[in-house]
Amino acid sequence: MFAYSIESNTPVQDTIFWSQQALAAVAPGLLTPFSFSVLAEIARRSWYNYYDRLGFEPRPGRHLLRQHNGRAYLNLSISAQIEAERAGVEPLAFWLNDQLTPLAVKPKSGLLAAFKTGRNQKRISTLLNELATELTQIEQRARTWHAKTQELRWSQAEILQVMEEIERVGADSLMTFLAARHNIMLLYNRAYQLLRAESHNAASWEQTKTALGRADTLHELDIARQIAEMGGALRSAPTTEPALATIAQTATWAEWRLALPEGALKSALTTFFTQYGQRCALEGELALPRWLEAPASVIEALQAAAAGDAATFQAVDAQPLPSLLQNQLAAGAQKQLAQWQQEAAALHALQSRALHAFSYIQAGTRTWALAAAKEAMSDGRLTSPEEVFYFELEEIKQMMTGEWNISSTAEIHATTAERKAQYQAWRDAASSPLLVGNAAAMSVHTLASAPDMPSVISLNPTRTIPAPAIIDPPRFIHVEQLSTGDAIFLQVANGFIVDTETALDPIVVAAQHYGRQIFNAPSVHRNGVGGPDVGLN
């Protein structure tokens, strides 16, 4: 996470550090141009609003996000610099070829300046507490906006109106996520520096990550709990199973709801989709359908839960600190880690709540994009709804305002073909968790490699697969990257095999809560069921 190898002649001084991990929960791997552009537009406003509320006088228009080989990267250097200058915050530091490399230089300060920076540091913790309080209203506003997008008939005037709202309505929830994520990353980084200072090995770091990855109030845990309970309801009502088998896999939740018989399971499913229907796996990719549109993976997960052993769905008791760390760390370091555990739990919960609020914005924006696609298809500028995701947000706005009108149809078709080819090239391109300038840095520490496992299930982005396959031993699921939507599998999988490590994500915290193992295997089933495709042809 913080130790990398890089070409020895790579310049690092005054070079921007770009992190893919910092955005993993909202930008899972390869993104279509539309998905990246929406995230970038909202993130710029969110980043500015956060530091403006802190009184740090940020400059608007900073180069905050970039897309490299289709993946989204966050500029870590500008946050490190502004916090070091304004609040004396120790900046993030990476080990590049075993050399400690801070992302910014904290200026030396006198007594008066130290007083000012200390006061500004307190503002950060105060603002995080304020955001935790405000998030209830932020989520309510996001939910209301999402509900509006589901009710509109999408006249041209409504399409034009909503497209101007996306950046504004999404800023608060994404600001809260970015704030929580940034401070979680800082906290983990300080813990890593502490262990390095005391000459601890990789095993100690893995235990430290586990110790810091504890939180009891996550949406991911609630999703898993509801799936387990619905599995129990299905076991108690075996006559419902035939009804499930008659419903088409492509049916929407509205169609499922009409077909299901009345009873406890239908009631529980209605509650679940009311609360989480706007979510899905890899929800940062707006080309993917939300659960309300494509509920098959949820139904399959609860069927697997009904057929599985509910006794395996038990939380692992949290320990104050792993015994290895208690025995090897000095008393002061133990005390510091214990404090960081408490702070991390609050930040993990804040991050999970912010992601949930932002998911309403993502789902509503997808609905708007499909409405815009329908408008552009009416005169032949687009030939299918999916093509809209190959265009950036501003380009779609140009189509809707008539700047890119029917006279530009040939140009639009050529752009579509070019973007499709580019997207396919991105699929085969290597990605790095960290860029130093334009140089790829490769992680030194990785998760344990997966042992030989029969019946590993490789899931596509929509996470659909027949339930019996999931419950065959050893019940390990391979995905390129875990996301909140994978919480539906926490009660049917003994663990996960992933291509990229996502220790900061709330889904990983939830997996640890239930003792689910996570292994690293970049090449396992890369071309398995569905592969990394987002469903665009």
> Sheet of 495-498: strands edge to edge?
457-458, 476-479, 495-498, 517-520
DSSP assignment letter at 95:
E
* Contact of 521 with 205, CB cutoff 8 Å: no
Is the pLDDT at 524 greater than 60, yes or no?
no
Among 272, 277, 280, which residue's Cα sits nearest to residue 222?
Answer: 272
What is the per-residue pLDDT across 178-201, written as a single tens digit (0 to 9) for each?
999 999 999 999 999 998 887 666
Greater confidence, 526 or 406? 406
Among 338, 269, 334, 271, which residue's Cα sits nearest to residue 301?
Answer: 269
* Contact of 230 with 263, CB cutoff 8 Å: no
Least confident window among 38-52, 184-198, 514-528: 514-528
Band (450; pLDDT cuts 50, 70, 90): low
CA distance 417 to 220: 38
Q: Which parts of 388-449 are beta strand (E)? A: 434-436, 439-443
User: What is the pLDDT averaged over residues 435-440?
Assistant: 95
Among 291, 304, 228, 295, which residue's Cα sits nearest to residue 256?
Answer: 295
Least confident window among 109-118, 237-246, 375-384, 448-457: 448-457
Is the pLDDT at 202 greater than 90, yes or no?
no
Output the six-digit token pair for 328: 């090897």
What is the per-residue pLDDT across 19-42, written as a single tens digit (0 to 9) for each?
999 999 999 889 999 999 999 999
Q: What sign does the dihedral 185-191-196-197 (CA atoms) show?
A: positive
What is the per-residue pLDDT across 255-265, written as a single tens digit (0 to 9) for each?
999 989 899 99
Band (531; pLDDT cuts 50, 70, 90): very low
Q: What is the pTM of this model?
A: 0.93
Task: Please give the pLDDT value at position 494.
Answer: 86
Least confident window among 131-135, 184-188, 229-233, 499-503: 499-503
Among 37, 293, 271, 249, which residue's Cα sits nearest to residue 163?
Answer: 37
Is the pLDDT at 535 greater than 70, yes or no?
no
* Contact of 183 with 354, CB cutoff 8 Å: no
Q: What percent of the chain has pLDDT over 90?
A: 66
* Contact of 117 with 87, CB cutoff 8 Å: yes
Task: Please give the pLDDT value at position 460.
Answer: 84
Query: Torsion over CA of 104, 108, 111 and 115, rounded to 10 degrees?
Result: 0
* Contact of 366 with 359, CB cutoff 8 Å: no
Output the six-digit token pair for 138: 């932020």
What is the per-residue pLDDT across 112-165, written as a single tens digit (0 to 9) for each?
667 778 899 999 999 999 999 999 999 999 999 999 999 999 999 999 999 999
Least confident window among 72-76, 236-240, 320-324: 320-324
Band (380; pLDDT cuts 50, 70, 90): very high
Average pLDDT taken over every residue of the chain: 89
What is the per-residue pLDDT across 63-121, written as a single tens digit (0 to 9) for each?
999 999 999 999 999 999 999 999 999 999 999 999 999 999 888 776 666 777 889 99
